[in-house]
Amino acid sequence: MKPILLVLLTYLMNFLSAQQTVKLSGTILNPNADKVYLRYYSDYLFNHQEVVDSAVLDANGNFNMEFDWNNPRPALFYNAGQPAELFLTPGDSLFFTANAGKIYNTIRHTGKGSPINNYLAEENLIDKNPTFRTYKLAEKEFIAWVDTTYDRAIRRLYKNLSLNNKQDERIEYFGQYQKLELNYARANRKVEYPVLHAALTGKDASQVSPGYYDFLNTLSIDDSLTHAAPEYLQFVENYVDYQSYKLYKQDTTQLPRFYKKNYIETNTSGEIKDFLIAAWANDVIINQGDYERGMELIKWLETTSPGSKYLKDINIVVSQLVLAPGTQAPDFTLPDIKGHAVSLSDFRGKIVYLDFWSTSCGPCREEIPAAKELEKSLHEKDIVFLAVSLDKSQKAWKNLIKKEGLPGIHLRTDGIFDSPIAQEYRVIGIPHYYLIDENGIIIDNNAPRPSGGAKEAIQKELIK
């Protein structure tokens, strides 16, 4: 970002912040609840919304709010869980009407701050997001699609808010803010393209044109004025992952995470550094299921920034969502292939290698040969191979077990990822393995796959 733009935005934010309050009033037609709420995202990473104010609707669906609001930023208006996106600036005095069943596409504003919010209401009706089909496009066609989408959005912004003319400070500030968000959104699509294109087409993700990533040189990863902007935060994560991977490809003697940690440590600071560490820890714990490495990242955050706002949130995530090694594995009872009830606690006294899988999961089926060999090599040992299927189809499950001659004890749950056992064991991706000791204590909540070191991990426990 050019220094003059930074100076302009800083000046405008300071000027606007001096006014401190916002007034909201309006009418909700056909309300689904008798109360309305105004919230804002205090933390995009953990999806935390803070309630700023609320009001009870009168008999005609009318409401009034007035609340402190110390800087320009996005907000969300709710009635019965139906949201409408707003952008509020200190000093705004908005009146709007909306139909409760379709707030997001019926809301209309008048008053101070209405041009910005009417623009947002219209933009939210336009589908600007790429589909899987878009990511399958060849590089040249994809870039053309992204740039055209961006150019059209910029033209709508200038036209609807008359940004080429002299405006009041709130419109001028929002215009610059929105241009940054649109630019970061364009960058995110381009950063994501090589990997998603490769996943959808089977091609090599590194096969992009020379200079493909040159656009990154024009963007800042420490833009304090857009710290509250979701596209910016996503871009920062994407950017750091790209730069870390590039360093790894130059020297593969270290793991990729070594380069990522060094890059964050060397190139970022303050709140954005805290965000990157917390986002990384959250991904490692929740999406990768690696509790120990996630805790190492949390300790890094505690050391780097003991007062970080993210520490409380990430520790809540750990306490609520992770079955840590050393904790009791939740007991469960499910039907086996013959309909008999089988419980985890039935296998006290033996080590349990617990596998969550599905017949429709490609990576799960790729593990079958290694799983059969693993069971065969440890057949006489005190180890139980317990497989829990998340299949929708009982027939497909039974047929595959019979066809492949799958060893071990096979159970099935209804509800797929929403089933109680999947929720309790935090299964959000499959295959997922747990290693549980003779007393039902979790040894590893992200145990190696049969093809990736499971035998060594199990043997280590057997000889204790």
Task: Look at residue 9 in the predicted model and tell me its pLDDT.
Answer: 53
Among residues 329, 353, 332, the alpha carbon closest in space to that of 414 is found at 332
Which whole number is the average pLDDT over 136-145? Answer: 95
Task: Look at residue 122 in the predicted model and tell me its pLDDT.
Answer: 92
Q: How confident is the model at residue 225 (pLDDT cuts 50, 70, 90)?
A: low
Task: Look at residue 435 in the predicted model and tell me its pLDDT.
Answer: 96
What phi and psi, each to the nearest 5 degrees, are found at residue 441?
-95, 135
In a domain, 448, yes or no: yes
The structure tokens listed for 25 are 């009033």
Mark whether 239 and 159 lie in a shared domain: yes
Mark whether 83 and 171 lie in a shared domain: no
Q: In this predicted model, what pLDDT tens digit does every residue of 226-265 receive, in sequence order? A: 556 788 999 999 999 989 988 998 999 999 999 999 999 9
In a domain, 268, yes or no: no
Q: In this predicted model, what pLDDT tens digit does every residue of 438-456 receive, in sequence order? A: 999 999 988 999 988 899 9
CATH classification of the domain holding 347: 3.40.30.10
Strand 21-29 to 93-99 pairing: parallel
Q: What angle do CA 340, 347, 288 make, to 5 degrees?
A: 100
Q: Which of 214, 246, 278 is the last residue of a domain?
A: 246
Mark whether 92 and 68 lie in a shared domain: yes
Mark whether 360 and 454 lie in a shared domain: yes
Q: Which of 123, 140, 160 is the last residue of a domain?
A: 123
Task: Look at residue 227 in the predicted model and tell me its pLDDT.
Answer: 58
Domain span at residue 375 reads 333-462
The structure tokens listed for 252 are 């593969």
Task: Look at residue 414 in the predicted model and tell me its pLDDT.
Answer: 81
CATH classification of the domain holding 60: 2.60.40
Alpha-carbon torsion, ordered 307, 313, 319, 325, to 10 deg? -70
Mark whether 135 and 76 lie in a shared domain: no
C-alpha 175/C-alpha 159 separation (Å) is 11
Domain tally, the chain: 3
- Using an 8 Å Cβ cutoff, are 113 and 94 in contact? yes
Q: In this predicted model, what pLDDT tens digit does every residue of 160-217 receive, in sequence order? A: 888 766 667 888 889 888 998 999 999 999 999 998 999 899 888 778 899 999 998 8
Mark whether 81 and 156 lie in a shared domain: no
Mark whether 41 and 117 lie in a shared domain: yes
